[in-house]
Structure 1
Amino acid sequence: MDEAQKPMVECQMMVRKPVSEVFQAFVDPSVTTKFWFTKSSGKLEQGQTVTWEWEMYGVSAQVKVIELFPDEKITFEWDDPPTRVDFDFSELSKASTYVVIKNYGFHQSGNELIEAIKNNTGGFTTVLDGLKAYLEFGIELNLVRDKFPQIDQK
């Protein structure tokens, strides 16, 4: 199967903030915890592995940073077996950024693959929506926290 035929999740959003601010929102957990996970063992740095936690669900992920190009790209691997995630940042103007998230390298097939793609598409879309609300308006929408209230443990 060539690259164009391999299953991939792709989500995108324009954020009306400078590219450096949008990039840092994903690198710096003091910002990322406002719209995605609740706890991190540290900032994203190339070659490092950090732990992200979603305390309300009692889950965590090991995130291995493969590439980090300031204001341009973040690539990491996570899950078991691992999939790869790219965050690409494009400056549209001095005051706006286009973020594209791609998740690929899925190991499932059939209905399990469909479920993984569906869950990751919804998840990354929710992350981008929360990012936009927080950076543009300073609002913590609690989108990730409220996505599965039936299993919220807090």
Structure 2
Amino acid sequence: MNGITVEAQMMIRKPLKEVFQAFIDPNITTKFWFTKSTGPLKKGKTVIWEWEMYKAKAEVHTIDIKPNKLIATRWGTPSTLVDYEFKELSPQNTYVTIKNYGFTETGEELHKTLMNNTGGFTTVLDGLKAYLEHGIQLNLVADKFPQNLQD
């Protein structure tokens, strides 16, 4: 593994507990990211996230949870580590940082993975912001790769 880390970050104008819960509770997360989950994130447990529009699934293992501070997971193919870090900037503002690391790819394959993951996690945070701050489901993940996209 190399020491490369993908990072995406965003300030969300909502209280820390609400933003943290949006990643734990699939009833909220499905409003801005994946379409199905086998359950909430819990330390030591594995859930399956689905993106039905892409017929894609991922096993997500939660390594650690520090309430309102950190969610540490391992997921993907090949699997990598993904940490979600939360920082209260004020009672109504939370800063979220997603860090993805533990890549095994090299060369052009690594470059493509880094670009895809950076864009993907940025899209997730953009969707989270719209949903929590304005109650709008932008369908960003669903629209990222439309079915009728031509090469």
TM-score range, shorter chain: over 0.9
What fraction of aligned residue pairs are identical, expressed as a percent?
A: 62
Match of 1:42 among 39, 51, 54: 39
Match of 2:77 among 63, 69, 80: 80
Which is worse superposed, 77-86 or 9-18?
77-86
Q: How does 1:70-109 map to 2 (within 5 A)?
A: 70-109=67-106
TM-score normalised according to structure 1 size: 0.94
Q: Deviations over 1:80-100 (max 9, x none)?
A: 331000000000000010000
How many pairs were matched up? 149
Q: Which runs of 5+ in 2 are unaligned?
A: none
Q: Which aligned runs of 4 or more in structure 1 are off by greater than 2 angstroms? A: none
What is residue 64 of structure 2 aligned with on the other side? 67
Amino acid at match of 1:142: N
Counterparts of 1:68 and 1:146 in 2: how far apart (Å)? 30
Amino acid at match of 1:114: H
1:151 to partner: Cα distance = 6.3
Amino acid at match of 1:10: E
Q: Deviations over 1:17-59 (max 9, x none)?
A: 0000000000000000000000000000000000000000000
Amino acid at match of 1:140: Q
Q: Which runs of 5+ in 1 are unaligned?
A: none
TM-score normalised according to structure 2 size: 0.96
